Amino acid sequence: MRVIWDNLNTHRAQALWQAFNARHEERFHSHFTPLHASWVNQIELWVARYTRRMLRHASHINTAHLRERTGQFSHEDNQAARPFQRSLRG
């Protein structure tokens, strides 16, 4: 199982990781996002859009059906993609 530790101050807590890994080393594989990563916000926005449009109130007959619909969503989303405009405060 993969665990994503998202932008938390626990990145610096060595004792926490040593204890977690000692107990769950074979079961979990940890991934860390950078502490300061504005690109993570874009990923979170995509996941939120995916959840609203594909998962909420949805019914999938099996995993293959979910994968197929996810692929369709991703393809359609990529077709409508446009550059991200970031406003900088100065």
64-90 residue pLDDT tens: 999 999 999 999 988 988 776 665 554
Map out the domains of the chain as residue ranges: 1-36, 38-81
- Choice between 16 and 69, residue whose per-residue pLDDT is larger: 69
Over 70: is that where the pLDDT of 11 sits?
A: no
| Rounded CA Rg of the chain | 18
Q: Give the whole-number percent of the chain exceeding pLDDT 70.
A: 71
- Choice between 10 and 46, residue whose per-residue pLDDT is larger: 46
Q: Give the whole-number percent of the chain exceeding pLDDT 90.
A: 20
pLDDT at position 75 is 94
Per the confidence metrics, is the pTM higher than 0.95? no
Read out DSSP for the chain?
-EEEE-S-GGGG-HHHHHHHHHHHTTT-EEEE--SS-HHHHHHHHHHHHHIIIIITT---SSHHHHHHHHHHHHHHHHHT--PPP-PPP-
pLDDT at position 23 is 79
State the number of CA atoms in the 13 A half-sphere of 3 facing the CB.
12
Mean local confidence (pLDDT), 20-27: 75
CA distance 86 to 90: 13
Is the sign of the CA dihedral 67, 68, 73, 78 positive or negative?
positive
